Structure 1
């Protein structure tokens, strides 16, 4: 079988697994929400649809594994070297982690929260170029296999821990409460909802403008000064596929399609945002916020209540202690795997590739911050008795730190790991 055939099978398997995950999510929703339908035995209904849902998600996972294997064979290397491949692998490992935790605890409702995370991460992966790209020299190492796969596996268990912790909060927060504590809890739940929707907003915006063929091109001048004081000027062409709310610093429009009366960029990136593509990345962040805000406001207008309050009744039959235990166990499994992959083996690889174990690269710093954060979580949990709501909030915010490490650092901060960023 030719390389092209393998890559085509990989592409199709990716799409099939994505749609199967979406169907499985709907089936999990039927399993949970359908318990309230008339003339239904709730226990029997949930058990039946839970088995159907899990079967569909497992078939989707098999398709995802087929994607991974055929892309590996077609590319001649493990497919984790750019954002498309890494986020695809991460979504696959989230499903692996979900499958393991589900088989242990048999909580059908967990699928209603874990499946959307995997689907969103897959959709986010599809935003990036899917072409097989040659490895840069520093990536041609066995440590690519070890470092990246173990880091993603640890993060996938953090994702399941996040799902269970967020379910705990939705189950226990008093959305009808009027005192200061309840209002603060409700606000943070809504902020978490908005953070998730913001990623969805970005995905929707990218695919909508990609389908319309939108394009804007800027000529950007990059001025650099070397250690001897010599100044050099370099011109780069920067292509946008989202309307330029923020244009590159020190740039001029070469071509730009009009959108909703926007014929010129509204702003230029500040000078401290460095790099030829930095303005485009900043524009991406602005569109994520705008798209997320639009979707969130439309949902609020549609349901006429906070989204957390809308979802909370679905969890009334769950034992909060079980959710708390699932969250803790998932993070406890993921932490040592993340430690080995994101820190220990990463430092060994850094020594081989760059001649130092540590260099304060932004991705390295945020990986350390993530590790310290989850170290604090486990310490507080085991020695200080942090359980329930306190522990759940730490788990939820911890996964937001992980997502910023994976996504925000690539979009915002230039560094040695920028090869994993947008194309």
Structure 2
């Protein structure tokens, strides 16, 4: 079953990629069509939507077979949760597509699913036994509904970003226009950094790169209160620019003529994985900057301006409406999953409804942000660019809650980063 699940997920990834290319042809190809451009768009978008459904069926096959093979619903660690989130983003896209039929939305929504699957593959893929706190049916309800709400936020993000790319005047040199242009470019750079990080991990993994360090650290015994010295092994997949604090090299493969780490993590970063995480951030920024520079060189213009030209003929008001509807659907689902059901599960697992754990705090921040988004949209008339910027920023907060809190900030939810 687990072998079948892995193959089904890989198949879904490839089908999503082909569906994405079909949506691109449905929009960009109408310029080259000698016949009716509208008929060309309709034909290709229908084909791409069918491919999306096939990919979703394969993705669902992965989910079911991993559930059967693993003995529990696959949403208990980062690999399983991210693959679940990717599937639900596709579900959210399918629902929005059936309502509005926006072919252009597939160009931005499906890549999010693909990127999240690729990101999930960075984490260990073995089925792990559930810790007691996770062994509850409330886990299934809480995590699944929270992920579904976040999936609709992802579609709202995609539509909001498309609105900004379509409505921003990239020829204008006014202060407001230049500010919007820089903001869009920063968002695109952030996406490229994530993609470059994933590509870098897979590239060095495929090349068989590895390095190991032995780190000595002082830990406090919880029972006696005495300080004890322990040694732990830290393994790197990306070449070590930064080694862990107070560590020694166990094994090291030279790269680019470099035969030793260039830097040591600062003393306050003495966690066993702190140096490796800092090294990952540095590599992500380097690879992202190089990838962005290469794309800028090919496009010979800011990437936002290059994409803007591809969206000619798209009604920005439709994109604004789709972004709002997606977020409006996701908000009550997220409220139930990330707050109400989460509190019930917390009481079941830890005998309290709320404990100011970092993940709980950031879930509340996310909920408050989207509450403000809906209030400003409905009561203050924030539509168009203002609403779209909020949709984009909101999803960035969502991703930090999912990734940053799990992997960087220690707390009761740290098991999710295993």
Instruction: Calculate the TM-score normalised by the size of structure 1.
Output: 0.96
Report the equivalent of 1:258. Answer: 254
Deviation of 1:50 (Å): 0.7
Report the equivalent of 2:141. Answer: 146
Report the equivalent of 2:274. Answer: 278
Report the equivalent of 1:324. Answer: 320
Q: Does 1:32 align with 2:27?
A: yes
Report the equivalent of 1:23. Answer: 18
Mapping 1:72-111, distance limit 5 Å? 72-111=67-106
Report the equivalent of 1:406. Answer: 402
1:108 aligned counterpart, secondary structure: coil
Between 82-91 and 312-321, the greater mean CA deviation after superposition: 312-321
In 2, Cα distance between equivalents of 1:147 and 1:268: 40
Between 63-72 and 352-361, the greater mean CA deviation after superposition: 352-361
Q: Does 1:208 align with 2:197?
A: no
1:107-157 CA-to-partner distances (Å, cap 9, x unmatched) read: 100101101111111111111111111111211111110111011100000
Contact 2:122 2:201 in 1 (8 A): yes
Between 209-218 and 342-351, the greater mean CA deviation after superposition: 342-351
Deviation of 1:315 (Å): 1.6
Contact 1:274 1:414 in 2 (8 A): no
Contact 2:33 2:40 in 1 (8 A): no
Q: Does 1:194 align with 2:170?
A: no
Report the equivalent of 2:180. Answer: 185
Instruction: Calculate the TM-score normalised by the size of structure 2.
Output: 0.97
Deviation of 1:246 (Å): 2.0
Deviation of 1:226 (Å): 5.3
Q: Does 1:295 align with 2:291?
A: yes
Equivalent residues, number: 417
Deviation of 1:282 (Å): 2.1
In 2, Cα distance between equivalents of 1:291 and 1:367: 30
Deviation of 1:378 (Å): 0.7
Deviation of 1:335 (Å): 0.7
Structure 2 residue runs of 5 or longer lacking an equivalent are: none
In 2, Cα distance between equivalents of 1:274 and 1:385: 49
Contact 1:151 1:340 in 2 (8 A): yes
Deviation of 1:293 (Å): 1.1
In 2, Cα distance between equivalents of 1:124 and 1:282: 18
Contact 1:282 1:412 in 2 (8 A): no
Deviation of 1:219 (Å): 0.8
Q: Does 1:135 align with 2:125?
A: no
Deviation of 1:363 (Å): 1.5
In 2, Cα distance between equivalents of 1:148 and 1:104: 26
Closer/same/farther in 2, CA of residues 371 and 271 from structure 1, 3 Å limit: farther
2:190 aligned counterpart, secondary structure: helix
